[in-house]
Structure 1
Amino acid sequence: MRAVRSAYDVVAVWEIATPSGAGPVPGVGMAGFRARAADPVDLGVVPFPAVTLALDLGEGPLAVDDASGGRECGSVLVGLDPGPVRGRGSGVDCLQVRLSPPAAHAVLGGAAAEAGGSVVPLDALWGRDTARVLERLRAAASWDCRFAIAQAELARRCAESRRVDPEVAEVWRRMVTEHGGARVERMAAEVGWSRKRLWSRFRSQIGVTPKRAAQLVRFDHAAHRLAAGHGVARIAAECGYADQSHLHRDVAAFTGATPAALAAAPWLAVDEIAWPRRAAACR
């Protein structure tokens, strides 16, 4: 039995803020993170089925190391399928935004899908607007003000962009609802598309294939069950894995760790506090 990391342990390290209500753009979740001490932070980030914006507001800078060994500093976009990622910095003060893939497409256009599993500097996407937004966020008097500024910026960008196809949005919703268990062929038939058309349109708009997206959603469900203390054999059987070895391989592919190490990952304890409505945020 693993030692469960308590909410007190997490709060002792992080000041975590969440918005009081939903914002104007569906499929968007936000949380603010401020380290309680200036000591260096080195934290493995567990992949989540969303495109992530990390808005660096500290004296930092925040550094994000991707799975290929690359490093980006400052505010970044982390693509939908990044593999093992680590965040490093001192005096961390960061606003994190999670966008479901349909929301990411609406807010960022094709850039979200093009990012794939990459970590991309935010100013490569937003140009000079990045400095303007970050300056306003740093000057804000409270986390509530920061959330309002970020929500308004996302809503403005959403109004100027195209949405994903309704069929693609419905397939994503089904994947989340069924924890990655829905078969691609069945979902294609139910939205009136061929498997080939769904595969092509989903990949071009979401950034990964339907099969890979389903694997990521299933992994996320399994990871949170591991963190809740459920056994590996039970999770493998109930989450649709062929056997325990299959689950081990998935965990290693997404995180570079074992199921036991993943179960005790500090980021999952942070996740449960920062994203109490995490399921709604990835639809």
Structure 2
Amino acid sequence: MNTDWRLVRGRPGPALADAVLGYRAFDLTLDRVQRRLEVPVGAVTLVANLGRGTLRIGRPGESGDWSSADSFAVGPRTRAVIGEHNGVMRGIEVNLTSWFARTVLGVHLGELRDRQVELDQLLGRRWRHLEEQLAELPTSQARFTLLDRHLLRLRAAGPEPAPQLRAAWRHLLRGTTPTTVAALAHEVGWSPRSLELRFAEHIGLTPKSAARVTRLARTLRMLTAGHPLSTASTACGFYDQAHLNREFRALTGGTPREFLHHRRTPGRHLDRLPGWVTSALLP
């Protein structure tokens, strides 16, 4: 089989820059099965299948619990998943902030936590019509432009999240706020109960789970940049290296050493989000 790997990244227009994390168009013809470990990142991913291949999704260490998906939404996650395909895939990926996914999909984000759901089930004819339009366009850039127009219309028609919610999320991303729910709620001027309810609806995670996911993101950036485990442990607020290892295994299914080893596997890792460490190729 002749192998071919084409991937085009796209950024949203300025009016969506705070809501859409990026687009990726892909067209793969490989001579092998490809398996990727995808760590939780606190975002929502939509995948449009444009006529080639089917993805299987499972969790590390749970070989009997796999599902197949064509065009689907991956909700906010508290644990890593493995995506596997037979080497042939063509489609487009849209990565959204969770709060904007709440607007786009029209569902309480907590309903999608640790789930992947066919987009037909969520959006029905609206999605099928958009997917048909995407498949007919000749270039990736034309598809990104169509997605921009579609998402701008949805944003104009839907509610914007409360500024306190977005402020709380930014604090967690930066790691500048104590990780207790009460401290974070006080920081943004809400009660702890209000913070928990808004996070469940618009982020899809509890504040505590969101703090764990964003701390993992900071840890991965440090480790893949070459910082020792001891340095990452202190900088990211773990009690010690053993605490970091326990959290890492709980969220990714493996150890930091194993993840870094997979990142060194020959091939293309192509993290899904700019500035994030999201993925590793598995053997």
**TM-score, normalised on structure 1?**
0.83
In the other structure, the counterpart of 1:85 is: 81
The alpha carbon displacement at 1:164 in A equals 2.2
For 1:41, give the aligned amino acid: Q
Between the two proteins, the alignment pairs up a number of residues equal to 266
Superposition pairs of residues 68-83 of structure 1, within 5 angstroms: 69-83=65-79
Superposition pairs of residues 40-79 of structure 1, within 5 angstroms: 40-66=33-59, 69-79=65-75
Mean Cα deviation higher: 53-62 or 18-27: 18-27
| Bigger RCO (CA 8 Å, 6+ sep) | 1
The alpha carbon displacement at 1:33 in A equals 2.6
> Unaligned 5+ residue runs, structure 2?
278-283
In the other structure, the counterpart of 2:213 is: 216
CA distance in 2 between partners of 1:143 and 1:256 (Å): 34
The one-character-per-residue Cα deviations of 1:99-154 (angstroms, maximum 9, x if unpaired) are: 11222222223343321111111111111222222222222211101111222222
The alpha carbon displacement at 1:71 in A equals 0.5
For 2:69, give the aligned amino acid: C
Greater share of helix: 1
Give % identity. 29
CA distance in 1 between partners of 2:251 and 2:68 (Å): 20
Q: 1:179 to 1:128 in 2, by over 3 A?
A: farther
CA distance in 2 between partners of 1:123 and 1:275 (Å): 25
In the other structure, the counterpart of 1:194 is: 191
Among 164, 173, 180, the alignment partner of 1:176 is: 173
In the other structure, the counterpart of 1:33 is: 26
CA distance in 1 between partners of 2:251 and 2:5 (Å): 25
Q: 1:151 to 1:131 in 2, by over 3 A?
A: same
Are the counterparts in 2 of residues 116 and 207 from structure 1 also a CA contact under 8 Å? Answer: yes
In the other structure, the counterpart of 2:223 is: 226
CA distance in 2 between partners of 1:15 and 1:135 (Å): 21
The alpha carbon displacement at 1:179 in A equals 6.8
> Unaligned 5+ residue runs, structure 1?
1-11
Q: 1:180 to 1:63 in 2, by over 3 A?
A: farther
For 2:58, give the aligned amino acid: D
Among 119, 123, 135, the alignment partner of 1:122 is: 119
In the other structure, the counterpart of 1:5 is: none
Are the counterparts in 2 of residues 107 and 155 from structure 1 also a CA contact under 8 Å? Answer: no
CA distance in 2 between partners of 1:166 and 1:148 (Å): 28
Q: 1:23 to 1:130 in 2, by over 3 A?
A: farther
In the other structure, the counterpart of 2:138 is: 141
The alpha carbon displacement at 1:13 in A equals 7.5
CA distance in 2 between partners of 1:245 and 1:58 (Å): 46
**TM-score, normalised on structure 2?**
0.83
Greater share of strand: 2
Query: What is the root-mean-square deviation in Å for CA atoms of aligned residues?
Result: 2.6
Q: 1:159 to 1:59 in 2, by over 3 A?
A: same
CA distance in 2 between partners of 1:237 and 1:108 (Å): 38
For 2:45, give the aligned amino acid: T
CA distance in 2 between partners of 1:180 and 1:218 (Å): 11
In the other structure, the counterpart of 2:9 is: 18
CA distance in 2 between partners of 1:214 and 1:183 (Å): 9
